[in-house]
Structure 1
Amino acid sequence: MTVDFRSLAPAELAPYIQHTKIGTGITRDEMTAHVQEAVQYGFNAAMVPGSWVKLTADILAGTGIEVASALDFPAVGCMTSAGKAAEAAELVRLGATQIDIGVQVGWLKSGDFDGFREDIAGVVRAAGVPIKVMLELPLLNDQEKETAVELAIEAGARYLKNASSGAVETASPASVRYLVERAPEGVLVKASGAITGYEQTISLLEAGAVCVGTSAGIQIMQNIDGAKSY
């Protein structure tokens, strides 16, 4: 069934947004407020650093809202594969229900395709929850993009992501469509990267993303009625 995203009220659009707060020096009070906002607005998930997963899981218990975290991020591709897998298992033990992971872009560009694939597969096996793979498409040439997508799917990725953050790419419908066109049944697409407005969010969902990750979720919610008036 096709969804008319532009007709959705704020409460109907919120479940497509993963409410994100990743950074240095976040206090307990700030993180608690962030997670409570996810409940208040009915967002799809609260995306938080690993150090705050347990707090987030405790607050979200029984709400149905996903507890999401990211690893090998923001310095993408710097962790060892064993360390990444171990951290994934620990995040799940603490309550994470989804994990976004960085990929080894340097290995891909060096032709170490087996290493690139196994780096992802090790996390998939260790976690046992949906893994979202941040492919960093703007850093890859055309052939590398195709290879990265194929290897991520072979490794068991549940979601493909265009990029890790706005530092790599401002999420675009073109990047989302690129992934949607290559994703087999059962593999979904998440959009990420400098998503700050209603129109941009709608365009990404219309392109085929099943969710968007953004730290501007509340701003988007509060501007829906104004955006629709134009």
Structure 2
Amino acid sequence: MADTDFASLSSRELAPYIQHTKISVGITRDEIIAHAQEAVEYGFGAAMVPGSWVKTVADTLKGTGVPVATALDFPTVGVTSSAGKAAEATELVRLGADQIDIGVQIGWLKSGDFHAFRDDIAGVVNAAGVPIKVMLELPLLTEDEKKAAIELSLEAGVSYLKNASSGAIETASPANIRYLVERSPEVVLVKASGGIKNRDQVVELLQAGAACAGTSAGIEIITNSTSSETASY
């Protein structure tokens, strides 16, 4: 991936790096089906949708090869009990989710409850059995807390590290993407999230190591020094 000239790629060639996202309030059935169909039409890497629409989208995308992504303990992160989070992850996979973004217990981390922080994530990883992406909210953490959050997330068995849950926390920066990539083993991807609104941002994040790109309107980026994957927003 490091040898790819992302700036020279056409929109169609960039599409597989993008996870098409629709998470707004009041989405109708027709809108969510159209969203899923757009993911196929334009060649996006995945369709990210609310948990309540996972089954509908999974049915729509069946046989297309486009993964279904969703999120839990979101948009306000760290408010769901560990047992509730694991149970919801199990149900989302049953309904057809192929990957799940999760909020993490930043308050527990800041309180020094490191084992609880790790076990909360591990409970979802073990219950789901699909790639789990942790939304680390890096701008809210001290340097020591960032390092601890990464280490504990990796111990929990996550497949992706994510800089933030949304643009409300951070506009995704190449610096934070490189920060995560440099601290991740090759088997763990890094997702860039927040305020990604144009092609230049997408290319810049991909060049920082990204493998998928996004905005609240419908895309997101994942990064790793060696891998090309897609992510959600």
Give TM-score, length-normalised by structure 2: 0.91
- Summarize the alignment of residues 90-105 of structure 1 with structure 2, pairs less than 5 Å apart: 90-105=91-106
Q: CA deviation at 1:191?
A: 0.6
Q: Name the structure 1 match of 2:212.
A: 211
Give a deviation string over 1:38-95, Cα, whole Å, max 9, x none.
Answer: 1111100100000000011011111111100000000100000000000001000000
Please give the secondary structure, in 1, of the residue aligned with 2:192: strand
AA at the equivalent of 1:160: L
Checking the alignment, whether the CA contact within 8 Å between 1:190 and 1:213 is kept in structure 2 is no
Checking the alignment, whether the CA contact within 8 Å between 1:21 and 1:49 is kept in structure 2 is yes
- Does 1 or 2 have the higher relative contact order (CA < 8 Å, sep 6+)? 2
Distance 2:89 2:196 in 1: 26
Give a deviation string over 1:194-226, Cα, whole Å, max 9, x none.
Answer: 1110000111111012212324458xxxxxxxx
Q: Name the structure 1 match of 2:222.
A: none
- Summarize the alignment of residues 66-215 of structure 1 with structure 2, pairs less than 5 Å apart: 66-215=67-216
AA at the equivalent of 2:29: R
AA at the equivalent of 1:154: E
Please give the secondary structure, in 1, of the residue aligned with 2:14: helix
Percent identity over paired residues: 74
Please give the secondary structure, in 2, of the residue aligned with 1:46: strand
Mark the runs of 5 or more structure 2 residues left unpaired by the alignment. Answer: 220-233
Mark the runs of 5 or more structure 1 residues left unpaired by the alignment. Answer: 219-230
Count of aligned pairs: 218
- Greater share of residues in helix: 1
Distance 2:151 2:24 in 1: 31
Q: Name the structure 1 match of 2:225.
A: none
Give TM-score, length-normalised by structure 1: 0.92
What is the aligned-residue RMSD (CA, Å)? 1.1
Instruction: State the 4+ residue runs in structure 1 displaced beyond 4 angstroms.
Output: none
Q: CA deviation at 1:11?
A: 1.6
Q: Name the structure 2 match of 1:223.
A: none
Q: Name the structure 2 match of 1:228.
A: none
Checking the alignment, whether the CA contact within 8 Å between 1:70 and 1:101 is kept in structure 2 is yes
Distance 2:7 2:41 in 1: 22
Give a deviation string over 1:115-151, Cα, whole Å, max 9, x none.
Answer: 0000100000000000011000001011100100110
Q: CA deviation at 1:23?
A: 2.1
